[in-house]
Amino acid sequence: MDAQTVSVVVAGLGVSGAAAARGLAAGGESVIVLEANEGERQRAAAAELAALGVEVRFGEPILPEGTSLLVTSPGWRPGHPLLAAAARAGVEVIGEVELAWRLRATDGSAAAWLALTGTNGKTTVVRMLTSILIAAGHRAAAVGNVGVPIAEAVGEPYDVLAVELSSFQLHWSSSLAPYAAALLNVAPDHIDWHGSMEEYAAAKARIFENAGVIVYNADDEWSERLAGPYRPGEVRGGDARLVGFTLGTPLPGQLGVVEELLVDRAFVADPVHEAEELADLHDITPFAPHNVANALAAAALARAYGVPADAVRRGLRAFTPDPHRIAHVATVGGVDYVDDSKATNPHAAAASLAAYPSIVWIAGGQLKGADVDDLVRRAAPRLRGAVLLGQDRERIRRALARHAANVPVVDVPGQDTGVMDRVVGEARRLASPGDTVLLAPAGASLDMWPHYGARGDAFARAVRGLSG
């Protein structure tokens, strides 16, 4: 960043906005933060920033005259009046991640970035990756859309950063050049923000543009397609190396699974004739096919950075999953109850449903325009019953009628605090010993709860009520 005094505007006083303002102020910039809400939290944050010379303006955000750069928060859509005003005025708009990239040290001491994105699995992979890096003895941190704010992390003495990036953050990033970058999967999500599936996918693909090593999911159609332009002979802007991961037997240049082993045929001396064992399936917790894919993606990024095989195994064994991700809550009467409230879209729910053979499915919430027919069609042979709640439960019920007509379905209306107790009670009635009652809603939780964690907590409380 140019250290001359200029007027930089930060949109929003959330975690990323406050971190961006602090980083800019530390670099000598003149910073104004615009925040629409003036609550107790916002006023406290404003007081802290004022001590650093940062001005915070509350109320309707208006672009100040003389603004040379606008740093936006991830949730602000491109059509927001403030961002539209910046575009008309010729003011560059970037996100906190792009800002952090520009703020990092340029003397060779900056931490390497191992970046990843995808519709589902990002947080799990970034935490697996961090665990592997630490097992290898590196000073590492999970940052970006999780963990430490990235604008602060670039000022700390880390060797390497595991960077989780959302499509929103990538939309506002233009010069990121990570050491290695991975695209886990792409499925319809946030279409209301991006405008179309193609624009959403294009935002995800930006992670590849300047990456040194490109990691893609060979089992995911969109991921493989978006990695296509970077195949040998077609690489743009450098010597990018293309590495795939698959749940099947890996080809040369891929990581994959052979019998019960995770193996590497990419980062070995002779990928055509050699493979190196990294771990086995029992090292992955919780075990599910999509979590094996997560482990392979994390391993590929770590191996790109030079991490030895034994550290991959140790890092995966040490990894502790975040709550509400296919978490076993209890077994009651021979029935397992599993919380995957984080499955907030059909793609995530499909991965969760594929992990169990006999399921009473708890589903519903805000589908955000996503289609559920393919999800229900594929899951139908595993379903022993379904209990529906939330705003878009009728759309799921119709899909079940079309593709799983013999599956008993219970509709639980209402938005009161006791609705989850009734949902779990109905699921118990439908379940038999050996079944799994699975909360994998396929929709967001904001119609009834403040976040997916609160929905998962409500499910766990109701299950504990069954077991006493």
Kindly state whether residues 356 and 417 are assigned to the same domain: yes
Q: Is residue 421 part of a domain?
A: yes
Q: Is residue 1 part of a domain?
A: no
pLDDT tens profile 419-458: 999 999 999 999 999 999 999 999 999 999 999 999 999 9
Q: How far apart are CA 96 and CA 113, in angstroms?
A: 15
Q: Is residue 332 part of a domain?
A: yes
Is 72 annotated to bind a ligand? Reply is no
- Helix-then-strand count for the chain, H and E: 17, 20
Q: Is residue 292 part of a domain?
A: yes
pLDDT tens profile 238-262: 556 999 999 999 999 999 999 999 9
Is 121 annotated to bind a ligand? Reply is yes
Kindly state whether residues 94 and 117 are assigned to the same domain: no
Per-residue pLDDT at 239: 58
Kindly state whether residues 387 and 293 are assigned to the same domain: no
Q: Is the pLDDT of residue 67 over 60?
A: yes
| Both structure tokens of 277 | 């064992």
pLDDT tens profile 36-60: 999 999 999 999 999 999 999 999 9
Is 120 annotated to bind a ligand? Reply is yes
Q: Is the peptide bond before 286 cis (omega within 30 degrees of 0)?
A: yes
Which domain-ending residue is among 301, 318, 335? 318
Is 185 annotated to bind a ligand? Reply is no
Which domain-ending residue is among 99, 133, 151? 99
Kindly state whether residues 141 and 275 are assigned to the same domain: yes
Kindly state whether residues 110 and 138 are assigned to the same domain: yes
CA distances from 457 to 119, 304, 451, 465 (A): 23, 37, 10, 12
- Tally of domains within the chain: 3
Kindly state whether residues 137 and 270 are assigned to the same domain: yes
The mean pLDDT value for 129-150 works out to 92
Domain that holds residue 386: 327-467
Q: How far apart are CA 151 and CA 157, in angstroms?
A: 13
Is 210 annotated to bind a ligand? Reply is no
Which domain-ending residue is among 49, 72, 99? 99
Is 118 annotated to bind a ligand? Reply is yes
Kindly state whether residues 307 and 342 are assigned to the same domain: no
Q: Is residue 2 part of a domain?
A: no
Kindly state whether residues 279 and 379 are assigned to the same domain: no
Kindly state whether residues 134 and 189 are assigned to the same domain: yes
Q: Specify whether the backbone of 18 is left (phi greater than 0), alpha (psi in -120 to 50) or beta.
A: alpha
Kindly state whether residues 49 and 180 are assigned to the same domain: no
Q: Is the pLDDT of residue 366 over 90?
A: yes
CA distances from 227 to 27, 173, 206, 218, 256 (A): 36, 18, 11, 9, 18
Question: How large is the C-alpha radius of gyration of the chain?
Answer: 23
